[in-house]
Chains A and B, each alone.
Chain A
Amino acid sequence: MTLIILLLGLGVGVLVGLLGIGGGVVLVPALVYLLGMDQHLAQGTSLFILLPPIGLGALIEYWKQSRVDLRAGILCALGMLLGAFGGSLVALPMPSRHLQGLFGCFLMVSAILLWRKAQPGHGPTVAEGESAHG
């Protein structure tokens, strides 16, 4: 079991670096389905994992390629600190079942957003992007 958890962490970490996300979005369902956790417990544990700067190694790789907007990043951190507290106040009194369902809906919306921005955006590069991969 310990090995599974360690490997799960590694897999989630690769996504963190690859996509610049926190990883919680994969961790929570993994904890629910692989380890049989309740939705609230999975979410609390995921928040705990996100507490230390787990993305620091990945960030340094991006920093070396100067692909970081520090000012925007700091603003985002501030907003998320406040927002996260508000969000937890909404989620905690909710029944686990509904929270799990809402989480599912949230994943679907995120997936659509991710897919959308994956399409080559506005501008003249559309044709080039389309034909880049067959």
Chain B
Amino acid sequence: MDKGIGRDAGIFLIACVCGIASGMFGIGGGVLLVPLLVLLFSFSQHRAQGTSLVALIPPTGALALVAYAREGFVSWKTGLLLIPGVFVGGILGGRLAEKLKPQRMRQVFAGILFALGTWQAFSAWWR
């Protein structure tokens, strides 16, 4: 992958795609961004994860949140209760990531994610 403008434009485009997923599914988008940075732009695994965390610092979902809130689709109380745990957990996870072999962890996570996805699709369409 050549450096410079082409690479920047490519990364920006990929980020737009991740953003669409983020707004559609109410997620951060990192779950898509990390593998795409590794696969398409040959980032190392740790570097892709660190870069994805940068992209998650600014409130990238702010515009989407406003759209959801306008329809009454936000549970503010549950959200407020979840935030401190996620923050503290993030520090623990970041420390853990340098000690653990991320290879295995990621495959376990991918497995769980696949099972969750299958469950969601099934309970939605074949109830």
Contacts and interface: CB of A to CB of B under 8 A. Distances in A.
Bound together: yes
Interface residues of B, number: 106
A41 B74 CA distance: 5
Contact of A43 (B55, B68, B104, B119): B68
Interface residues of A, number: 108
A36 to B, nearest CB: 11
Interface in A58-115: 58-63, 65, 67-92, 97-115
Contacts of A75: 8, 11-12, 15
Given A5-B78, A6-B81, A57-B90, A22 B47 contact: no
Contacts of B120: 29, 32, 100-101, 103-104, 107
Interface string B31-70: 1111111110111111111111111111111111101110
Interface of A: 2, 5-29, 31-32, 35, 37, 39-63, 65, 67-92, 97-118, 121, 129, 132-133
Given A44-B68, A61-B95, 9 more contacts: A14-B90, A59-B53, A59-B94, A67-B46, A69-B54, A73-B50, A77-B57, A79-B11, A114-B35
Listed from nearest, the 9 A-B pairs whose CB atoms lie closest are: A22-B28, A13-B89, A83-B19, A17-B93, A9-B85, A43-B26, A20-B49, A87-B23, A79-B15
